Structure 1
Amino acid sequence: MTVGLATCYDLRFADQSTALGRAGAHLVVVPASWGAGPGKEEQWDLLTRARASDAQSWLLACDQAWTPPIGTDPLGIGRSALVDPIGHACARLGSEPDLLLGAVDAELPGTIRARVPIL
């Protein structure tokens, strides 16, 4: 299995995901510290799904999740996710620390790429 890597802010740029898909990535891993704020959860959810679809690869997005001390801002929003190559979030966590387990079908990206040859 070929694994690609992107980081946090890279989710905002489709070209990198497309390049990773063209390079044959079956899975793209995205560690992040996605800052909290108005609309940030919606952006995170949308962008993780979009980048998986752009790459036609599985995408594992891992964001910090913790409850900050009173009076401080969170460093991440959580919501880590496993997204399939067509952009369906197969598993998504909440904002609290948790463990995400999922299975990745290494054949699925090739099947999707053959059906929808956009790369």
Structure 2
Amino acid sequence: MMSHDDLRMTVIQLAPGADKVRNIEQARGLIEAAVAQDRPDLVALPEIWTCLGGDRATKFAAAETLPAPGSAGETGGAAYEFLREMARRHKIHVHGGSIGELGGETLFNTTLVFDPDGAEIARYRKIHLFDIVTPDGQGYRESAIYGAGDKIVTFRLGTATVGLSICYDMRFPELYLALRRAGADIILVPAAFTLQTGKDHWEVLLRARAIETQCWVAAPACTGTHYDGSNVPRVTYGNSLIVDPWGIVSARCSDGPGFVTARIDLAKSAKYRTDMPVLEHRKLV
């Protein structure tokens, strides 16, 4: 049971592909191992872990129509019910990374959070879409399949407020400032970060977001190789991290599927904010 200023958080690192059933079973095994070993208050999964890779039809087939917010008795799809089951069975909060949400002719890259009773308590659609070319020349166009969200989302975890973001969002510090202003003590960043960008930018960006917001930042990530609709290999960076509000890496996953857990000391961020009140000093935005 979490104390007033202290909780345990686990980030799960997965190596998913386009097989949704297999991905769910991989996630189940790692969550259950983390609960048995580390007894976390919250576990968090990576971005779009239910179906990473495959063509447009594969992504749409794996996506789910989500129950209407607040409809506790309505049954969701396989991933939705899996996340709810894990929360209820283990009496923990489960942050579902992100999954594909069906939205008519488009999809949304959507985070779901469940409380220990299995109730959905937060839903966030990724705001910033990954339309870029990496240094090795590979192109990514997330907006060809996914629509963008437009809402800042937080939820309560004990006495803490937790802010939600997804992967490419981390390059936009104004979102993280908005989450801090909304009361965030912790910010979650599930990701499927590319190897090419990850080796140079992953850690430095996460540490920067932690330092400037004076929040804990937890980033569960995908690792390994998957294949897109043209059978082109795509490599994700892994290196799931938990960073403290001073920008120090408190926990990091090694290569391959796995998990790490860190003790989140909320008193630490409170002290940093008192000693260096950067939010109060901000002039321009």
TM-score (structure 1 length as normaliser) = 0.88
Q: Which amino acid aligns with 1:96?
A: G
Q: Is residue 2:234 matched to residue 1:91?
A: no
Q: Is residue 2:184 matched to residue 1:25?
A: yes
Q: Separation in 1 of the partners of 2:258 and 2:192? A: 16
Give the alignment of 1:101-112 within 5 angstroms.
101-112=261-272
**Whose RCO is larger (CA < 8 A, sep 6+)?**
1
Give the alignment of 1:51-66 within 5 angstroms.
51-66=209-224
In the other structure, the counterpart of 2:203 is 45
SS of 1:34's equivalent?
coil
In the other structure, the counterpart of 2:277 is 117
Q: Is residue 2:157 matched to residue 1:7?
A: no
Residue ranges of structure 1 left out of the alignment (5+ in a row): none
Distance 1:10 1:32, change over 3 A: same
SS of 2:260's equivalent?
coil
8 Å CA contact 1:14–1:51 kept in 2: the answer is yes
Shift of 1:95: 3.3
8 Å CA contact 2:214–2:272 kept in 1: the answer is yes
Further displaced range: 102-111 or 81-90: 102-111
SS of 1:100's equivalent?
strand
Shift of 1:108: 1.8
Q: Separation in 2 of the partners of 1:66 and 1:36? A: 9
Q: Which amino acid aligns with 1:24?
A: G
SS of 1:107's equivalent?
helix
Q: Separation in 2 of the partners of 1:95 and 1:12? A: 24
8 Å CA contact 1:92–1:100 kept in 2: the answer is yes
Greater share of strand: 2
8 Å CA contact 1:19–1:55 kept in 2: the answer is no
8 Å CA contact 1:3–1:27 kept in 2: the answer is yes
SS of 1:53's equivalent?
helix
1:74-103, Cα deviation, whole Å (9 max, x unpaired)? 2x2101100000111111113311111111
Q: What RMSD over aligned residues (CA atoms) do the two structures have, in Å?
A: 1.7
Q: Separation in 2 of the partners of 1:44 and 1:58? A: 16
1:51-87, Cα deviation, whole Å (9 max, x unpaired)? 0111100000111023558x7222x210110000011
Q: Separation in 1 of the partners of 2:244 and 2:261? A: 14
Q: Which amino acid aligns with 1:117?
A: P
Q: Which amino acid aligns with 1:58?
A: W
TM-score (structure 2 length as normaliser) = 0.39
